[in-house]
Amino acid sequence: MSRVMPGTEARLGWIGESVRRVDGIPKTTGEFEYASDLQVAGMLWGHTLRSPYAHARVRAIDLSGALSVAGVHAVLTHSDVPGRKTYGLEFQDQPVLAIDRVRYFGEPVAIVAAEHPEQARRAAERIVVDYEPLVPIVDPERATESEPLHPDPESHVSDHYLRDPRPNVLRTMRIIHGDPDARGDVVVEGTYELGSQDQAFLGPESGLAVPDGKGGVDVYVATQWLHVDREQVAPCLGLPEEQVRIHLAGVGGAFGGREDLSIQIHAALLALHTSRPVKMVYNRQESFSGHVHRHPARIRAEHRATRDGRLVCVQMRILLDGGAYASSSTAVTANATSFACGPYAVPNALIETMSVFTNNPPCGAMRGFGAVQTCFAAEAQMDKLAQALEIDPVELRLLNALGTGDTLPTGQRITSSLPVAEVIRRCAALREPDPEELPRAAIRLPGGAGNTTRGEGVKRGVGFAVGFKNIAYSEGFDDSCAARVRLHEDGSAEVHCAAAEVGQGVTNVILQVARTELATDDVRIAPVTTAAVGSSGSASASRMTWMASGAVRDACRAALVEREARGGGEVDVERVYRHRRTAPLDPETGQVGELPAHVAFACAAMKVIAEVDVELGLTRVVWIGTAQDVGKAVNPQAVEGQIEGGTAQGLGLALMEEIQTRDGLITNASFTDYLIPTALDVPPIVSELVEHPEPDAPYGVKGVGEPPTVVSTAAIVAALRDATGRELARVPVRPDDIVGLQ
């Protein structure tokens, strides 16, 4: 059945229609140009020399051997950086190239440009670095008792954060709500751990920097936020922003891993130094060490409830390992704290979160952004409560479900759409397939693909979980998105918007909004570049559909008004969209003031059927049903695709994905040793879209990319617990966790 806006005829490509992706055919046929496909005449190849140590002083660097390699045009170190020596998303704490020490395995030390990539690699191997190895800090529990990795404590201070004088503490956040000492009739406790997960995008970091011959540079790169890249790159190059133009190249996945810089400054430095275009492409091992990951977490939780199942108090202590540099850890800390209690009405709470520096790989943005970790712990606690109270787990969640008008532990009152109870009911009502309907071929059994079982020890379990997360930026960030619309005399239109298409389908959203507002199908999207339009913010935080829809809508409407006023002709209009204002939480109590901390929220519920071979410790998810709060589905098919993809990432964290380190060194930096779900691992997924339009959002939309990842890990492990009777308090769940001693 066609979904269209009231008052419009049903036409392909308007809001509410399931529309074929505009980049779908070229991506499946191989015609799409990714960043790694870029070529230009006369280009050189760049390569990065990276630290083999997780922690060491850099006493000297000898470049003579590298400079003698044939075809080499430049070998640069920190002394060749013409501007600011450091950069960063929230704090400028990360060296462009290591200065006097390295703080993580793979930290860039020097860069090389040569005629051929193999020449650049061989030259980098001939750079002699005199390292003095230092004892790495790898246990986040002991980080606050160790020597500070960043000697200037004022370099990571903000007025919005609680001051913590201990070494290596990046941010401490506390929420005190009601009476944290309130007692309940039943108390359950648990300690939970999550390993570090990689974004595992299929297109490694790559890009091309082209000097313009006038002292400036154009950088073509796969990124999530062009304008914040420019804000970091230009000062390091010693250039004004107008001389640094960032262009979006084809992106092979992102999931948060492209918010931080990778090749941008390095390629630009080499290009300006050699006056030649420079291309850089990471291999898979370099990609693992060259971008941030999901924060590993240790969470201690205590839930108290009445005998009839009402939550009385929640206490949590959350420790996040941020790795060597700040990246976006402060914001992840805020999210983990804010959503620790889950989508439930909790009258009393004490939530304390700390993110620390270590010499482990740096951590930052990844799909779910702190809410994944706390959802895993909180939902395990809800299942423990249900068992202790002998209440059905779904009924317990319904009894405590948040709704419009309720108050969060931060003191923020929910005035927007948040249909938690409906999402729970609709997910619970999804018909589970009968056992005989599920595939029973040997290859579909746990361990079947390895021919290790015929199903003798297989037990089946059912799990249920609910989660929620904020949409868009919070805590007072000036979140905005710009769009330009040009109306041509022939009736066609062109849209400029810097929203990064990273695989999520925002290009289609922009086209659907423009077609709907302009009442024409003759709309094209211009190339995405900082030179043509203002910032759109990052393709993250489940914000891009909301923000881009608002900006394009407003620009289209303004363009139509201007054309009407002019009586025709070509019109070119730019507009900037902003959502309602937010403000930081109180640093001492974590409570809101006059303004909310978050704009809006989205929730999801998930039911999982899993099979476990309890003798071999092998697992397989065989069916997933989910209901998700989506506001208004601009493109229903794309929404379902986001749910399926997000669920697969949560499955990976639940069962197989973890970056393994030894003394801070990554030991499984390949897709041979770091396993991600394949088509054989992902089961049938039934998606129920719950459309309650968000009152303040354009067309009532909400972001949909993160909630499925937030909830799926918790739901999958709940099914494993049901099958095995084991606590399974750490993810990913390993075979030893199932068959080993309790």
Q: How far apart are CA 230 and CA 265, in angstroms?
A: 9
Q: Confidence class of residue 162 from pLDDT cuts 50, 70 and 90?
A: confident
Q: How far apart are the first and last CA of the chain?
A: 52
pLDDT at 445 over 80: no
Contact 685, 619 (CB under 8 A): no
Pick the closest to residue 178 from 341, 390, 355, 327 (CA basis).
341
Query: Hey, CA dihedral for 559, 562, 568, 574, is it positive or negative?
Result: negative
Instruction: Return the pLDDT at 740.
Output: 83
DSSP state of 646: H
Residue spans per domain, the chain: 36-134+204-251+258-290, 407-471+596-739, 480-578
Residue in the block written with tokens 């002083």:
57
Contact 75, 110 (CB under 8 A): yes
Mean pLDDT of 186-193: 98
The two beta strands, 86-87 and 128-133, are: unpaired
**From the centroid of its chain, how far is CA 59?**
36
Q: How far apart are CA 24 and CA 437, in angstroms?
A: 32
Tokens of 433: 């397939």
Within 13 A of 295's CA, how many CA atoms are on the CB side? Answer: 36
Instruction: Return the pLDDT at 233.
Output: 98
pLDDT at 6 over 60: no
Instruction: Return the pLDDT at 13.
Output: 72
Contact 501, 251 (CB under 8 A): yes
Q: State pLDDT tens for residues 321-331.
A: 999 999 999 99
**From the centroid of its chain, how far is CA 83?**
30
Q: How far apart are CA 667 and CA 496, in angstroms?
A: 43
Q: How far apart are CA 329 and CA 94, in angstroms?
A: 13
- Burial status of residue 275 (CB atoms within 10 A of its CB: 0-12, 13-18, 19 or more): exposed
Pick the closest to residue 484 from 523, 516, 454 (CA basis).
523
Tokens of 513: 């909004």
Q: State pLDDT tens for residues 98-146.
A: 999 999 999 999 999 999 999 999 999 999 999 999 999 999 999 999 9
Mean pLDDT of the chain: 95
* C-alpha distances in Å from residue 242, one per residue of 55, 213, 270, 470, 499: 37, 14, 19, 34, 19
Q: How far apart are CA 138 and CA 144, in angstroms?
A: 11
pLDDT at 450 over 80: no
Q: State pLDDT tens for residues 365-407.
A: 999 999 999 999 999 999 999 999 999 999 999 999 999 899 9
Q: Which residues contact 509 (CB under 8 A, 6 or more apart)?
A: 544, 545, 548, 549, 634, 635
Q: How far apart are CA 221 and CA 498, in angstroms?
A: 13
Query: Hey, CA dihedral for 441, 447, 449, 454, is it positive or negative?
Result: negative
pLDDT at 453 over 80: no
DSSP state of 541: T
Tokens of 91: 């704090």
Instruction: Return the pLDDT at 438.
Output: 67
Query: Angle at which helices 544-566 and 506-518 pack, to 10 degrees?
Result: 30
Instruction: Return the pLDDT at 157.
Output: 87
> For the chain, how many residues are written?
742
Instruction: Return the pLDDT at 551.
Output: 98
pLDDT at 449 over 80: no
Per-residue b or e along 152-190, where b marks 16 or more CB atoms closer than 10 Å to that residue's CB: eeeebeeebbbebeebbbbbbbbbbbbeeeeebeebbeb
Q: Which residues contact 432 (CB under 8 A, 6 or more apart)?
A: 462, 607, 609, 623, 625
Instruction: Return the pLDDT at 2.
Output: 31
Q: How far apart are CA 250 and CA 695, in angstroms?
A: 34
pLDDT at 710 over 70: yes
Tokens of 304: 């108290």
Contact 111, 79 (CB under 8 A): no
In this structure, whether the domain defined by 480-578 belongs to CATH 3.30.365.10 is answered with: yes
Q: What percent of the chain has pLDDT over 90?
A: 92
Whether cis (ω within 30° of 0) applies to the bond prior to 732 is yes
The CATH architecture of the domain made up of 36-134+204-251+258-290 is: Alpha-Beta Complex (3.90)
In this structure, whether the domain defined by 407-471+596-739 belongs to CATH 3.30.365.10 is answered with: yes
* Predicted model pTM: 0.95
Angle at 379 between CA 373 and CA 380, to 5 degrees: 95
Q: How far apart are CA 161 and CA 329, in angstroms?
A: 12
**Segments in 40-147 forming alpha helices (H):** 64-67, 117-125
Residue 299, strand partner residues: 192, 318
Instruction: Return the pLDDT at 161.
Output: 85
Number of H helices, E strands in the chain: 15, 28
Q: How far apart are CA 652 and CA 96, in angstroms?
A: 32
CB count within 10 Å of CB 696 equals: 15
Q: State pLDDT tens for residues 589-619.
A: 999 999 999 999 999 999 999 999 999 999 9
Q: What percent of the chain has pLDDT over 70?
A: 96
- Classified as helix, coil or strand, 512 is helix
Instruction: Return the pLDDT at 440.
Output: 59
pLDDT at 683 over 90: yes
Please provide residue 58's backbone torsions phi and psi, each rounded to the nearest 5 degrees.
Answer: -100, 105
Q: How far apart are CA 195 and CA 320, in angstroms?
A: 11
Q: How far apart are CA 216 and CA 395, in angstroms?
A: 62
Equal CATH topology for 36-134+204-251+258-290 and 480-578: no
Q: How far apart are CA 657 and CA 663, in angstroms?
A: 19
DSSP state of 32: S
Three-state secondary structure along 199-266?
Answer: CCCCCCCEEEEEECCCCCEEEEECCCCHHHHHHHHHHHHCCCHHHEEEEECECCCCCCCCCCCCCHHH
Instruction: Return the pLDDT at 109.
Output: 98
Instruction: Return the pLDDT at 163.
Output: 84
Contact 368, 184 (CB under 8 A): no
pLDDT at 4 over 50: no
Instruction: Return the pLDDT at 439.
Output: 61
* C-alpha distances in Å from residue 518, one per residue of 222, 491, 514, 562: 30, 9, 6, 13
Q: State pLDDT tens for residues 55-89.
A: 999 999 999 999 999 999 999 999 999 999 999 99
